[in-house]
Amino acid sequence: TYVIAQPCIDVVDRACVEECPVDCIYEGKRALYIHPDECVDCGACEPVCPVEAIYYEDDVPSEWGEFTRDNEEFFTETLPGADEPLGSPGGAAKLGALGRDTPLVANWPHNGT
């Protein structure tokens, strides 16, 4: 799978969403998250992100390594403000912005790196 890492936080450019052929990039509040089971590794999203937030899972820079698991937990954990895990909706567009983030992203310092 591909992973969206720290640079997306508070940028949320959304150029990646337009490129994804399987609509597996979901919008939280401060960042977006790639569904690890729905992503088909096409790689189309990676070059279009203006802040280089997207990496193949094996290439995530070490300082952002926790974002691989964090992208997954956006779907597998019950996030604050939700009643149940998101699971595998099979498409992000119909859901729109979900208005919530994982604790890692929600608690990331503003203007922090």
95 is a site residue for ligand F3S (CB under 6 A):
no
Give the contact letters, 27-56, x = binds to ligand F3S (CB under 6 A), - = no: -----x-x----xxxxxxx---x-x-xx--
| Residue among 57, 62, 58, 53 at smallest CA distance from 30 | 53
With contacts defined by CB under 6 A, name the span among 6-14, 74-82, 87-95, 103-111 that binds ligand F3S: 6-14
Helix (H, G, I), strand (E, B) or coil at 25: strand
Distance CA 81, CA 22 (A): 27
Q: What is the CA 108 to chain-centroid distance, rounded?
A: 14
Residue with Cβ nearer ligand F3S (84 or 94): 94
Q: Which residues bind ligand F3S (CB under 6 A)?
A: 2, 4, 8, 11-16, 19-20, 22, 24-25, 32, 34, 39-45, 49, 51, 53-54
